[in-house]
């Protein structure tokens, strides 16, 4: 069996599998799911070819679900914070995260015009999971649903993501190695004018004698070719074939999960660092790009107190530098993993977005001394 840190479940290489020298301190799966208790599930919809007929296709879309407390009570709080690097996008539930420092339930990522259906489906699932109804023990839900636009390849106005797809993603969420590229919400997404989509990575850190895990998952749909940088190498300047955009037109959703016990204000610091990881791959965060980030911690899972005093554990600010670096590195690698894993796709109106050519990437990296011969 292939090493999941370097290869996908189907045996194809990830960025490390091509020899790209990312830091060695990743988790056993090099994925967000390395964080204990975190599960990820996908629903992928690929149907039809030819000219677009709104409501019929072609369809190149899906939904990705992150369950921070897989196997636990979905109504328990997950401490979190958000940061918007550029706000041309949507992440529901963000106002409550800003207000309270936590959210409940899963995180879902889909295409721009399916946010409503995914939100609707997650509420129904949460109500069933918690055994509550209107006026019950769990009175309301404010699900976290984020989006990027797959309209270049997908009949996005057809709104093809159904409640069944969302429930399939929720029910299939597991810990373990993850598929990347053309899967889940990332199915029809494009980054740096290459086929991209879903990517993930992780890092292990030690703080005061305790070992922790930081994991990233991105839905990469941003940037133009000349901006692309891989480990500091201006790859996009050299790989100019099959370009189709004159200006940036996309977004990226990035989610960081960790088991480091942190206060919400500290998680906000983590969410800001996500932008540094995104920036390492080259984008300046264009005007039309919705670059929206969420950081959460699975520590402190106890229910919120109804009265009296509550308390949560947290590490001191002076211990956070290794976590900052882990966030930046995991996000950077997750984006490159999305590009390496994605495969050439033809979608609506015969539009084709080509995959990043592995051999060409390796050649450029060698020319800059970033890979051995």
Closest CA to 110 of 70, 67, 61: 61
- pLDDT value of position 71: 87
Please indicate, yes or no, if residue 2 is contained in any of the structural domains.
Answer: no
Q: What integer pLDDT is reported at residue 373 of this predicted model?
A: 60
Asked whether residue 113 is assigned to any structural domain, the reply reads: yes
CA 90, 148, 231, 372 torsion: positive or negative? positive
Tell me, yes or no, whether 1 lies in a domain.
no
Q: What is the pTM of this model?
A: 0.97
Q: What is the pLDDT of residue 134?
A: 40
Closest CA to 185 of 160, 206, 205: 160
CA distance 102 to 97: 5
CA–CA dist 190, 65 (Å, integer): 19
| Residues annotated as catalytic (active site), given as ranges | 251, 289, 291
Is 11 inside any structural domain? Answer: no
How many contiguous H segments (helices) and E segments (strands) does the chain have? 7, 14
Q: What is the Cα–Cα distance from 345 to 331, expressed in whole angstroms?
A: 24
CB contact set of 293 (below 8 Å; sequence gap of 6+): 82, 83, 84, 85, 253, 254, 255, 256, 271, 272, 274, 275
Quick one: pLDDT at residue 135? 42
How far is the C-alpha of 321 from the C-alpha of 57, rounded, in Å? 47
> Are the beta carbons of 36 and 213 closer than 8 angstroms?
yes
- Which pLDDT score, from 0 to 100, does residue 137 have? 53
Identify the domain containing residue 40 by its residue range.
16-305+314-363
pLDDT in tens, the chain (373 residues): 689 999 999 999 999 999 999 999 999 999 999 999 999 999 999 999 999 999 999 999 999 999 999 988 887 899 999 999 999 999 999 999 999 999 999 999 999 999 999 999 999 999 888 875 444 455 688 999 999 999 999 999 999 999 999 999 999 999 999 999 999 999 999 999 999 999 999 999 999 999 999 999 999 999 999 999 999 999 999 999 999 999 999 999 999 999 999 999 999 999 999 999 999 999 999 999 999 999 999 999 888 888 889 889 999 999 999 999 999 999 999 999 999 999 999 999 999 999 999 999 999 999 999 986 6
Does the residue 372 lie in any domain? no
Q: What is the total count of domains within the chain?
A: 1
Q: Using a CB cutoff of 8 Å and minimum separation of 24, what contacts does 208-212 make?
A: 208/315, 208/319, 212/258, 212/259, 212/260, 212/323
Secondary structure (3-state) at 279 = helix
103 forms bridges with which residues in the sheet? 78
pLDDT of residue 305: 81
| CATH of residue 159 | 3.60.70.12
User: What is the C-alpha separation between 167 and 162, in angstroms, rounded?
Assistant: 9
């Amino acid at each position: 069996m292939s090493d999941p840190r370097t290869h996908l479940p189907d045996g194809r290489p990830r960025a490390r599998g091509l020899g790209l020298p990312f830091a060695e301190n990743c988790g056993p799966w090099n994925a967000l799911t390395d964080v204990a208790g975190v599960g990820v599930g996908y629903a992928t919809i690929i149907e039809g070819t030819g000219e677009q007929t709104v409501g019929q296709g072609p369809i190149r879309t899906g939904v990705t679900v992150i369950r921070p407390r897989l196997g636990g009570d979905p109504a328990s709080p997950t401490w979190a914070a958000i940061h918007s690097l550029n706000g041309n996008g949507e992440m529901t539930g963000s106002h409550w995260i800003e207000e309270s420092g936590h959210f409940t339930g899963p995180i879902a990522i889909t295409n721009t015009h399916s946010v409503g259906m995914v939100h609707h489906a997650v509420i129904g699932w949460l109500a069933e999971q918690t055994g509550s109804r209107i006026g019950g023990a769990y009175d309301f839900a404010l699900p976290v649903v984020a989006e990027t636009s797959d309209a270049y390849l997908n009949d996005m106005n057809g709104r093809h993501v159904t409640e069944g797809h969302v429930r399939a993603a929720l029910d299939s969420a597991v810990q373990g190695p993850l598929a990347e590229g053309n899967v889940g919400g990332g199915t029809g997404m494009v980054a740096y004018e290459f086929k991209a989509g879903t990517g993930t990575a992780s890092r292990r850190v030690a703080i005061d004698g305790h070992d922790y895990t930081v994991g990233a998952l991105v839905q990469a749909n941003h940037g133009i070719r000349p901006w692309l940088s891989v480990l500091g190498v201006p790859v996009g300047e050299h790989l100019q074939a099959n370009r189709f955009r004159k200006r940036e037109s996309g977004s990226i959703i990035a989610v960081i999960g960790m088991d480091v016990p942190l206060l919400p204000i500290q998680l906000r610091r983590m969410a800001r660092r996500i932008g540094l990881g995104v920036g390492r791959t080259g984008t300046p965060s264009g005007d039309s790009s919705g670059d929206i980030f969420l950081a959460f911690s699975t520590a402190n899972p106890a229910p919120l107190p109804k009265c009296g005093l509550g308390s949560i554990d947290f590490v001191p600010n002076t211990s956070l530098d290794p976590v900052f670096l882990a966030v930046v590195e995991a996000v950077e690698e997750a984006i490159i993993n999305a590009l390496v894993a994605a495969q050439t796709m033809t979608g609506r109106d015969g539009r084709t977005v080509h995959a990043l050519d592995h051999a060409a990437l390796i050649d450029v990296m060698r020319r800059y001394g970033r890979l051995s011969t």
